[in-house]
Amino acid sequence: MRDVLVVVKSGDDQAHVMARQMVSWLSSLGASGHIVENRTDQEGCVDAYCLVESGIHPQLAVVLGGDGTMISVARKLSFLGVPLVGINLGRLGFLTQLTGEDWSEPLEQVVVKGFAVSQLIMLTCEVARDGRQIFSSGAVNDVVVRGSMARLIKVGIVFGGERLGGFRADGMVVATPTGATAYSMSAGGPLVHPDLQVLTLTPICPFLCDFRPMVLPTDRPLDLGVEEATAEVVLTCDGQATFILEPGDWVRVRRAPHPLKLAAVGRHSYFNKLLDKGFIRER
């Protein structure tokens, strides 16, 4: 391991202190640590192109923050193919592999001996208006189309060129298996094992329609059209990247060409995480 990217949450003093300690620690192991601050989508992002142009080709990115920071960084760095290790400084920590108290020993194993990589699917979405693409983004967790101010919208659904119909609801959530434990689950969607190459489509408070959450393959595009709206309609990707939609707009969602790569650290299984984080409970 030669170069390790250490990504810290913007404005997080605890993360910056830990990052400096980590760079010194990495140096003692013979690796170079490079600190980069991750900013919100509104402020600007990790400039991955600048990393490449500066000659830094990290074999690993260590992300200091919570799940939100992990998701943000993954959206911006996935095309580089750099595996991520998350150190949880937030609350839930479902995506992060380590905590702020126990990172040094397992991370030393990763830096010195190498690691296996797990690959999770990501999504891309594009907005078409009057036949022109006007917005695009990646997503780790979900792509959501919903009305503001709790107003109903009518969403047309086309999968692989086949129209399923138009449905009235507060909105629709398209989620990866990773995102199944996020907004999708809150809207009544299923838990999905991360090894599956599928996406889920879950309505948010459907109105007078018998639309159940669906699990769909990722080999065909899923199109969501804004057919009727009485208030502003918002597209969000991971709850971070946003775009205002208009009636007549179509959102095309498909599997991203680059997966989210996570360094396999520790022995935490998917089901153990569900139990530890309270997603499933025995009564």
Separation between Cα atoms, residue 130 and residue 248, nearest integer Å = 8
Predicted TM-score of the model (pTM): 0.88
| Per-residue pLDDT tens digits for 95-145 | 888 887 788 888 888 888 888 899 999 999 999 999 999 999 999 999 999
| Per-residue pLDDT tens digits for 161-208 | 999 999 999 999 999 999 999 999 999 999 999 999 999 999 999 988
Spans of all domains in the chain: 3-120+259-276, 123-255
pLDDT at site 267 = 60
Of the chain, the percentage scoring pLDDT greater than 90 comes to 53
Taking alpha carbons only, the member of 137, 2, 229, 73 closest to residue 86 is: 73
pLDDT at site 44 = 42
| Per-residue pLDDT tens digits for 69-88 | 889 888 888 888 889 999 88
Taking alpha carbons only, the member of 53, 237, 55 closest to residue 142 is: 237
| Per-residue pLDDT tens digits for 1-33 | 788 999 888 778 888 999 999 999 999 998 888
Taking alpha carbons only, the member of 90, 109, 75 closest to residue 15 is: 90
Check 3, 12, 13, 67 and give the catalytic one: 67
Phi and psi (nearest 5°) for 251? -110, 115
Could you please state the CATH topology (level 3) that the domain comprising 3-120+259-276 is classified under: Rossmann fold (3.40.50)
Could you please state the CATH topology (level 3) that the domain comprising 123-255 is classified under: Tumour Suppressor Smad4 (2.60.200)
| Helices and strands: H and E segment counts in the chain | 6, 19
Q: Rounded mean pLDDT of 221-229?
A: 95
Residue 67 annotated in active site: yes
